[in-house]
Structure 1
Amino acid sequence: MKICVMGAGAVGGYFGGKLALNGNDVSFIARGDHLEVLKKDVLKVKSTVHEDFQISVRATDDPEEIGTVDLVLFTVKAYDTEEAGEQIRPLIGNDTTILSLQNGIDNEKILAEMYGQEKVVGGVAYILSRLKKPGIIHHESLGRIDIGEMDGEISERLNNIKKIFEESIIRCSITTDIKKVLWRKLAFNCGLNAITALTESSLDVILNIKESREVFKSSIKEAVKVGIASGVEMDEDKIIDELMEIAEEAGPMKSSMLYDRKKGKELELDPINGKIIEMGNDLGIETPVNKTLYGCLKIINQTETTKK
């Protein structure tokens, strides 16, 4: 399968590397020092859960050089979706599918408005990886992906995507309710990303302190309430219990938002906590914990980060 990874950072680079390692025709769109290393050297993945690997890849910052592809693995930060969505236009042919593996709940809608819903598949990635330095990805957990059509159909293209991932030793599941799956991850990220980034602490430390544990749980609870009010079918108590159990099992997990803060990068704040606040205001749902986290992180976003 001819594949292009749009946003070949820690997530896209890892999955793209695994797909390329299995013989797929994979191109990577990247920028800056990371792009230069990929062009001149190799993509290296150092993993704590499987053998390290490295592979020569085709990398560019110009989609025109690649042409149309079968699958676009869309893994940019959510605040870059519109801009990156326009950039991938040369990749899109009659039979191209765009698979979004991003944080937030608006990315699939934005891409569908650009290219039509028939081009877009929703997805959620569960993975702990970070770009240690240009060209080198540090991977700390077995990656898993959930994919689904926005209308809940089990389509042939979903089965094809699942097949190429599984052949590349990437666990992949098809869901008939991708909206619910997206909301579950958004709710979890409201606590994980915000509190780890704000405190520069790992999740196990946060959960071991009664007061910070309550902040984590309350931020999730607010997000779930907003999701239910927006029409997503979720059992509030069940979802919260499940997410807290996942958090307990995660151990010393840190978040992409924390790593972004440490690198001085823009935080993915508005698509996560900001989205819950915005929708909560529209739906009449109070979100005081998310507002507090957002307000504190907004200071960091404006004083510590370098935006494009």
Structure 2
Amino acid sequence: MKITIIGAGAVGNLLAARLSATPAQVSLLARGEALEAVRRQGIMMVTPLRRVVYAQPHVTDDAHELGPQDVVFLCVKAHALRSALDSLSLLTGPHTVVVPMINGIPWWYPYQQPAPLADQPLNSVDPSEALWRTINPAQVIGATTFVAVENDGPGRIRHISDQRFVFGAISPDSPHTAAMVTEIVDLFGQAGFQSRATDDIREAVWVKLWGNLGFNPLSALTGATLGTLCLDPGTRSVGRAMMLEAKAVAEQLGITFGTSVDERIEMAAGVGDFKTSMLQDFEAGRRLETAAIIGAVIELAERLGMAVPTLRTILALLEMRVRSRDHALQSAA
């Protein structure tokens, strides 16, 4: 199986390091400092057991040299997907499956869904509809990741905890993607991950989103780790209110949750003192995934005619916090 991973962030490097130990032919598409670091020294990973593991995957910045792949994992931020389209077109053949490893509500979510989605792209995550028009949904496999992994510099990651992945076809009309789900689950098992297939990937998206939506924004606002946010009565209460609003939206879209909000919070608390990806991005001066994690849920609520006041309040505060950060960085430059 020929696999390319687009993006050398924390999750991309984790996949490249672990999948390289399987029989698959794995390539990592990277650029800038990340490209040079992996070329020079490979990927250094600190495991949850504090073992230091080195991997040397094939790495390049030239998608043309790789050609069409069997599987392409998109391991970039949701707002950076459009910048990956040129590379993706060079890696995609008629039988390639595309697996976005992204947080929040993905651009493909409305595909073959009833009203009010009804194949209408989400402006919050795909404002130009470039993703909707460019990536064939019949070739997409949905995925959710439950891993706590941090960047520790170019080519260096710390895998804190968890290694669970869920995969599922976004449409029942594609036998090829359904078969590939099984192959990907098996491959991830060979890499030592806990992986499974699901017949309802949209439900898995919401279960993952619950944790991101409830605590990623609060982490960027407060600077607190996930464990602290879940245990502090004040921030736990705010996060819980956000999750309940999102749950109501999801249920109106036909999602049935197999776990309660409080159980999901306890799952997050079990991760401990981990900096969420949004806090890591905020501290590094990078753009935040607010559109996919909060904005998309607010847009869905608007389509349904539902009020989500807590989500709107937190989004407004977070946008102000980002503007203040950016102004300070510009003033210091």
Per the TM superposition, whether the score is higher than 0.5 is yes
Larger CA deviation: 132-141 vs 281-290: 281-290
Residue matched to 1:185: 208
**Deviation string, structure 1 residues 239-290 (Cα, Å, up to 9, x no partner):** 3233123133332232100011111111111111111222222322211211
2:150 counterpart SS class: strand
Amino acid at match of 2:244: K
Contact 1:112–1:119 at 8 Å: present in 2 too?
no
Q: Within 1, Cα distance between the matches of 2:266 and 2:48? A: 23
Larger CA deviation: 104-113 vs 264-273: 104-113
**Deviation string, structure 1 residues 113-158 (Cα, Å, up to 9, x no partner):** 4232221100001111111101111111131100001135882211
Instruction: Say which of 252, 261, 266 aligns to 1:240.
Output: 261
Contact 1:6–1:30 at 8 Å: present in 2 too?
yes
1:285 counterpart SS class: coil
Q: Within 1, Cα distance between the matches of 2:245 and 2:323? A: 25
Q: Within 2, Cα distance between the matches of 1:239 and 1:152? A: 28
Residue matched to 1:128: 148
Q: Within 2, Cα distance between the matches of 1:86 and 1:32? A: 17
Equivalences for residues 253-272 of structure 1 within 5 A: 253-272=274-293
Contact 1:184–1:239 at 8 Å: present in 2 too?
no
Larger CA deviation: 15-24 vs 213-222: 15-24
2:260 counterpart SS class: helix
1:244 counterpart SS class: helix
Residue matched to 2:51: 51
Contact 2:105–2:297 at 8 Å: present in 1 too?
no
1:304 counterpart SS class: helix
Q: Within 2, Cα distance between the matches of 1:19 and 1:208? A: 35
Q: 1:304 to 1:65 in 2, by over 3 A?
A: farther
Contact 1:280–1:287 at 8 Å: present in 2 too?
yes
| Cα drift, residue 41 of structure 1 | 2.2
Equivalences for residues 1-308 of structure 1 within 5 A: 1-49=1-49, 51-108=51-108, 111=131, 113-151=133-171, 155-229=178-252, 231-235=253-257, 238-305=259-326
Structure 2 unaligned regions, length at least 5: 110-125
Larger CA deviation: 69-78 vs 199-208: 199-208
Identity in percent: 28
Contact 1:194–1:293 at 8 Å: present in 2 too?
yes
**Deviation string, structure 1 residues 150-177 (Cα, Å, up to 9, x no partner):** 1358822111111111111111100110
1:227 counterpart SS class: helix
**Deviation string, structure 1 residues 11-65 (Cα, Å, up to 9, x no partner):** 0110121001224211111222111111222111112336321122222222112
Q: Within 1, Cα distance between the matches of 2:30 and 2:271? A: 30
Contact 2:147–2:162 at 8 Å: present in 1 too?
yes
| Cα drift, residue 222 of structure 1 | 0.9
Q: Within 2, Cα distance between the matches of 1:107 and 1:17? A: 27
Q: Within 2, Cα distance between the matches of 1:235 and 1:126? A: 17
Amino acid at match of 1:206: L
Q: Within 1, Cα distance between the matches of 2:107 and 2:22? A: 28
Q: How many residues matched?
A: 305
| Cα drift, residue 300 of structure 1 | 3.0
Q: 1:281 to 1:207 in 2, by over 3 A?
A: same
| Cα drift, residue 72 of structure 1 | 0.4
Q: Within 2, Cα distance between the matches of 1:152 and 1:50? A: 41
1:183 counterpart SS class: helix
2:94 counterpart SS class: coil
**Deviation string, structure 1 residues 184-223 (Cα, Å, up to 9, x no partner):** 2122211121111111101222233222211010011111
Q: 1:105 to 1:295 in 2, by over 3 A?
A: same
Q: 1:164 to 1:50 in 2, by over 3 A?
A: farther
Larger CA deviation: 255-264 vs 74-83: 74-83
Across the aligned residues of Structure 1 and Structure 2, the Cα RMSD in angstroms comes to: 2.1
Amino acid at match of 2:256: M
What TM-score do the two structures reach when normalised by structure 2? 0.85
Contact 1:5–1:75 at 8 Å: present in 2 too?
yes
Q: Within 1, Cα distance between the matches of 2:147 and 2:263? A: 18
Amino acid at match of 1:17: A
Amino acid at match of 2:58: R
Amino acid at match of 2:254: V
